Amino acid sequence: MMLLLLQFVLAAASFMQHAVQAYTHPRSSYVRMVASAPSSTSIDDDIMPTRKCNILICGGGPVGLAMALSLAQRGYNDIHVLERNPSASYFEVDKSYLYRIDGRGQKLTDQLGITERMAEVSTTTPEFLNITIIKSDRSVTTVPAPADPRQKTAYWLPRRALLSFLHSRIEENDTYRDAITFHYGTTIEGLSLPENLQSMEAEACVRVRCMDGTIVNYSTTKVLGCDGMNSKIRTGLAAWATEDGEWHIQSKKEHDRFGLHYIDSKSAGLRYKILTLLDDSPLTIMDPTNITKKELCYSYVSKSKAGSQGGFRLGLLPLKMAGIPRTANIIARSTTPIFMLTTGLELIEYLKSEFPQCDIDRMIELEEAERFAKSPGGIFPKSQYCLESQVILGGGGGGGNGVVYKQGEGCGGGIVLLGDAIHAFPPDLGAGVNIAFLDVLNLLDALDECNGDWSRALPQYEESRAIQSRAICELIPIGFPEQYNHMPMRKSIKLLGVGMRVALSKAIPSLFSPPVFFMCQDVNLDYSQVWEKAKRTTRNLIVLGFAMIVAMLGTILRKFALPSLFT
């Protein structure tokens, strides 16, 4: 509690310092407020201060911080990061999941030159090859983790550790620190676009509510929407695209520009809550001296069977960074009894009856149990993706608005969406942060290729990300959404199918590919290639199945029905 308070005070102090430093100028008259999110305030925007900046990064999650660091490395300055949390190290317990940065995500960390340092605060694949399963009958078994040890080492670290790590890489370097200003504790409320996007002076305006309730408008030529799955920047663009009549006439996609496409899956709708655990709890209640280790992975299986009766597991993922508490994910159907409990005491009693193998009193504090019972947790979303991810501002062209870009028309700027703002999905394949880092890398590559000309780089970025965003969302339902034990029968059928695909892919690799779950671990394949291979395998399986049915019918006919025809 004290730590939280201290973080809050420091963030407030830091914000005040930046507020004094930032250049303030009267609100530009050409900004038309077409796309602000509905606001609860009645304060007139015209009297609010407008701060001008070079680059505005909306959202200080993994993508926002990686983008800020990357742009500072390329020599951009006057970069401002808006983030509603009070600091990078703020502990959001319901987001305290573990990221697995695989070879895809490492393409970015390699380019930033931070992979080796990241290893120091992460658990690596060789350290995380086994899962210890402790059943309610107190039996203990160890099984290999579902990771391919031949693949490049992956780094496992909690969200808070990743954010602190990225933030520290900025803070420790004088140049980056001077180039980037963080505004923690600020909430983005809406986006406005100018009347004429192609005017050389065109700037977007982002409306922000500060911690003390005041509103500030940020005016800039470059906005990066890294504000997650409910992105205000994306909804602002969608509202603008729908409202702006003149722009429509030139656009082919019209109303659904910046709209979301949804794909359902068997894991969508599952509820999750995260429970913070005490360190050094015994592996089982039977042996109080055999203590769990933070860097190892454990799975405690409940007494009730998985599925509709409400059974679930306590999954303890490995953790290395000091000072971060260990957590257990509880992922189950919304109707599971654990989600119906309303007090900490009820929760402790319930856990004791469901997990007789655990010394619950040494695992969970009553205060934490109380917090857990009150927390709404979260719901796995349906996969959602947005095919459009950019609008050009200031002198450029292209960008799906029907205007052909002429080279040499200036470097322009634009509004660009990255990460969960353009693709969000359940965490079944551990792909979220990796595809998000690939977005960052892709935008940087496009900017490098176009010599920093945003008006040429953004359409390139949009084209390549649209393919990948859709592909990963299509892969989620056919990956392994049954893994959470909420539909045991389907999980068994799925595992049979997985076994069959593994066998066929080994026997005839030219016709059949391995299951999606395994292909996603092959970092040499991008998600669109995995999707293509999965579709091809399914097509070939259908043909094979059809051929087998025809062959069987032929055999039956030959034996029983029409033997005379074949003699």
Q: CA angle, corner 369, sides to 368 and 372, nearest 5?
A: 85
CB contact at 8 A, 35 and 195: no
Q: For residues 359 and 526, which CB has a smaller minimum distance to ligand FAD in the complex?
A: 526
CB of 494 to ligand FAD, least distance (A): 20
Burial of residue 49 (CB within 10 Å: 0-12, 13-18, 19+) is middle
Q: Which residue has the tokens 């308070």?
A: 5
Q: Which of 45, 50, 51, 64 binds ligand FAD (CB under 6 A)?
A: 64
Number of residues in contact with ligand FAD, rule: CB under 6 A? 31
Q: Which of 272, 350, 372, 518 binds ligand FAD (CB under 6 A)?
A: 272
CB of 410 to ligand FAD, least distance (A): 29
Point out which span in 41-49, 79-87, 501-509, 539-547 binds ligand FAD (CB under 6 A).
79-87
Q: Which of 35, 45, 51, 60 binds ligand FAD (CB under 6 A)?
A: 60
Q: Which of 166, 347, 433, 516 binds ligand FAD (CB under 6 A)?
A: 433
Q: For residues 274 and 277, which CB has a smaller minimum distance to ligand FAD in the complex?
A: 274
**Is 188 a residue that touches ligand FAD (CB under 6 A)?**
yes
CB of 420 to ligand FAD, least distance (A): 4
Q: For residues 97 and 218, which CB has a smaller minimum distance to ligand FAD in the complex?
A: 97
What is the secondary structure of 296-336 as a DSSP string? Answer: SEEEEEPSSPBSTT-B-EEEE----STT--EEEEEEE-TTS
Q: Which of 189, 214, 238, 222 is nearest to 77 (CA)?
A: 222
Q: Which residue has the tokens 């030159």?
A: 113
Point out which span in 71-79, 122-130, 433-441, 536-544 binds ligand FAD (CB under 6 A).
433-441
Q: Strand, coil or helix: what is 150?
A: coil
- In angstroms, the CA 167 to CA 68 distance is 9
Q: Which of 195, 198, 204 is nearest to 396 (CA)?
A: 198
AA letter at 162:
L
- Which two three-digit tokens encode residue 475? 């892969």
Q: Which of 160, 162, 178, 182 is nearest to 109 (CA)?
A: 162
- In angstroms, the CA 430 to CA 361 distance is 32
Burial of residue 390 (CB within 10 Å: 0-12, 13-18, 19+) is buried
- In angstroms, the CA 397 to CA 138 distance is 66
**Is 436 a residue that touches ligand FAD (CB under 6 A)?**
yes
Point out which span in 224-232, 304-312, 476-484, 537-545 binds ligand FAD (CB under 6 A).
224-232
**Is 427 a residue that touches ligand FAD (CB under 6 A)?**
yes
Q: Which of 31, 35, 50, 61 binds ligand FAD (CB under 6 A)?
A: 61
Burial of residue 496 (CB within 10 Å: 0-12, 13-18, 19+) is exposed
Q: For residues 64 and 307, which CB has a smaller minimum distance to ligand FAD in the complex?
A: 64
**Is 432 a residue that touches ligand FAD (CB under 6 A)?**
yes
**Is 228 a residue that touches ligand FAD (CB under 6 A)?**
yes
Q: Which of 15, 31, 50, 59 binds ligand FAD (CB under 6 A)?
A: 59
Phi, psi (rounded to 5 degrees) for 510: -70, -20
CB of 377 to ligand FAD, least distance (A): 9
Q: Which of 381, 376, 335 is nearest to 481 (CA)?
A: 381
**Is 226 a residue that touches ligand FAD (CB under 6 A)?**
yes
**Contacts of ligand FAD in 80-99 (CB under 6 A):** 82-85, 97-99
H runs (alpha helix) in 375-519: 432-449, 454-478, 488-507, 516-519
> What track of x and - describes contact with ligand FAD for positions 376 through 405 (by CB under 6 A)?
--x---------------------------
Q: For residues 61 and 479, which CB has a smaller minimum distance to ligand FAD in the complex?
A: 61
> What track of x and - describes contact with ligand FAD for positions 149 through 178 (by CB under 6 A)?
------------------------------
**Is 100 a residue that touches ligand FAD (CB under 6 A)?**
yes
- In angstroms, the CA 90 to CA 318 distance is 20
**Is 102 a residue that touches ligand FAD (CB under 6 A)?**
no
**Is 115 a residue that touches ligand FAD (CB under 6 A)?**
no
CB of 222 to ligand FAD, least distance (A): 17
Q: Strand, coil or helix: what is 422?
A: coil
Q: Which of 419, 459, 479, 515 binds ligand FAD (CB under 6 A)?
A: 419
Q: Which of 203, 420, 428, 462 binds ligand FAD (CB under 6 A)?
A: 420
Q: For residues 202 and 471, which CB has a smaller minimum distance to ligand FAD in the complex?
A: 471
CB of 235 to ligand FAD, least distance (A): 10
CB of 434 to ligand FAD, least distance (A): 6
- Which two three-digit tokens encode residue 439? 């977005």
298 backbone φψ class: left, alpha, beta (φ>0; ψ -120 to 50)? beta
Point out which span in 223-231, 239-247, 366-374, 506-514 binds ligand FAD (CB under 6 A).
223-231
Point out which span in 58-66, 256-264, 279-287, 480-488 binds ligand FAD (CB under 6 A).
58-66
Q: Which of 427, 414, 535 is nearest to 480 (CA)?
A: 427
Q: For residues 383 and 434, which CB has a smaller minimum distance to ligand FAD in the complex?
A: 434
What is the secondary structure of 233-292 as a DSSP string? Answer: HHHHHHHHHHH-HHHHHH-SSGGGTT--EEE--TTTT-EEEEEEE-TT-BSSTT-TTSB-
CB contact at 8 A, 327 and 276: yes
Query: Binding residues for ligand FAD, per CB under 6 A?
Result: 59-64, 82-85, 97-100, 187-188, 226-228, 232, 272, 378, 419-420, 427, 430-434, 436
